[in-house]
A = this chain, B = another copy of it.
Amino acid sequence: MIIVLKPGASARQEREIFREIHRLGYKPHPIHGVARTVIGAIGDERTHKTLETLTTWPQVESVMRVQKRYKLVSREAHEKTSVVKVAGLELGGRKIQVMAGPCSVEGEKQLLTTATAVAKAGATILRGGAFKPRTSPYEFQGLGLKGLKLLAKARRETGLAVITELLSEQHTEMVAEYADIIQIGARNAQNFQLLVSAARTKKPILLKRGLSMRIEEWLLAGEYVLSSGNSRLMFCERGIRTFESYTRNTLDLCAVPIVKAESHLPVVVDPSQGAGRADLVSAACKGAVAMGSDALLIEVHPNPREAWSDGAQQLSVDQFAQLMKELKPFIAAADRE
C-alpha cells in the first residue's frame, strides 16, 4: 500500500500516520520527495478490511493499492490454465464449445426441435431459461420446474449437456439437480449469497459479467465461488452498459484476452445478449473466436418471431447452422477445434 501525504504535512502528522500504519499491521517506509512525502507500507493488503480509511486523516492525500485484490482466480496464484470438465466435455481446452438454445424454455416441442437442430449443427451444450429475470413483472417469468424437466428430457434425447440460470437461493437444489452448468446472470453477478449457494452444489458455474461490472469486480465475484470450495468456474462476457443505444449492450471483447491473462479460468462470450440483435450475432461470434474465447453462448429459437422473450436477438435454427459453418475457418485460424 502506498500512502501519499499532502504537501505541507508536518513531521508530527507524519509520525501519526506511521503509528496508524503500524496499528493496521503494516510496516511503513517513507520516501521524502520535493513536494510530498510518500509512504510505502508493507503487508498483505488482501486480508485487510479497509485501506481507504486512511484517507480520513487530514494529512493524507491518497492511498493506492499495490496488490491485486483477487487470489484464487488469479494466474499469479495458479499459473497453469484451468480446464473445466462438464459431462465429458472440456471448457478451456483446445476445442471451442458451443452452448446454444432458446432464451426461454417455452414448451416441449419448441425445446426438442431446437435441441435436435443445434446438436446436429455441432453444439455440445443446450441452453434454455426455466427461471427468467425480467425487467417488468408483467413479462413472462419462465416455466420453472416444468422447464427444468424439459431440459432434462432434451438432454436424454440429444446427449447435450444442459446449462440454465439460477435466480434464487430457494431453487439452488432444484436447479442443481437438473443442470450440468449453473448460470449466474448479469443482474445477480454481485448477489454474493446466490453465488456462494450455487458454488456449494459443486456444479460448474458460469458467471456472467454484470451490466456495469469492472473486470476487477467480476474476478472478485468469481473469488466468492472459488473461496467456497468450487473451482469449476467460467467467466462469461455478455456486454456492458454504455451510452450507445444502437446495441442493447456494448460487447467488450477485449475482456476476453484480459481475463485470460489475469485468471487461469475459461472465458465464454454471449453475443446474443451482448449485442441484443440477431443480425450482429454472426460477426460477434467470429470476433469472439478470434480474440480467444473458449466457448460461445448463443440464443436459438425454432421461430424467433413467436419467441416469448427476446425474439429480436435469437437466431433461427437455419441461421445457427449457417453460422456454425462460417465459424470453421475462424476456429482454424485461432488454432482451435
Q: A residues within 8 Å of B by Cβ?
A: 2, 4, 7, 20, 29, 31-36, 38, 40, 42-44, 46-47, 49-50, 52-53, 55-57, 64, 66-67, 69-71, 76, 133-140, 167-170, 187-188, 190-194, 211-212, 214-217, 220-221, 223-224, 227, 240-247, 250-258, 261, 274-275, 278-280, 283-284, 286-292, 304-312, 314, 329-330, 332-334
**Can you name 7 A-B pairs with beta carbons within 8 Å?**
A50-B307, A56-B278, A133-B192, A138-B223, A212-B241, A330-B334, A333-B333
- A223-B137, A278-B56 given as contacts; is B254 within 8 A of A247 (CB)? yes
Cα(A4)–Cα(B68), bound, Å: 11
- A40-B40, A212-B241 given as contacts; is B246 within 8 A of A53 (CB)? no
How many protomers of this protein does the assembly include?
A: 4
The answer to whether B240 and A244 touch across the interface, beta carbons within 8 angstroms, is yes
The answer to whether A258 and B253 touch across the interface, beta carbons within 8 angstroms, is no
Contact of A187 among B64, B191, B311, B334 (CB under 8 A): B191
The answer to whether A40 and B50 touch across the interface, beta carbons within 8 angstroms, is no
Cα(A334)–Cα(B282), bound, Å: 12
Q: Which residues of B contact A211 (CB under 8 A)?
A: 211-212
Contact of A49 among B35, B57, B140, B279 (CB under 8 A): B140
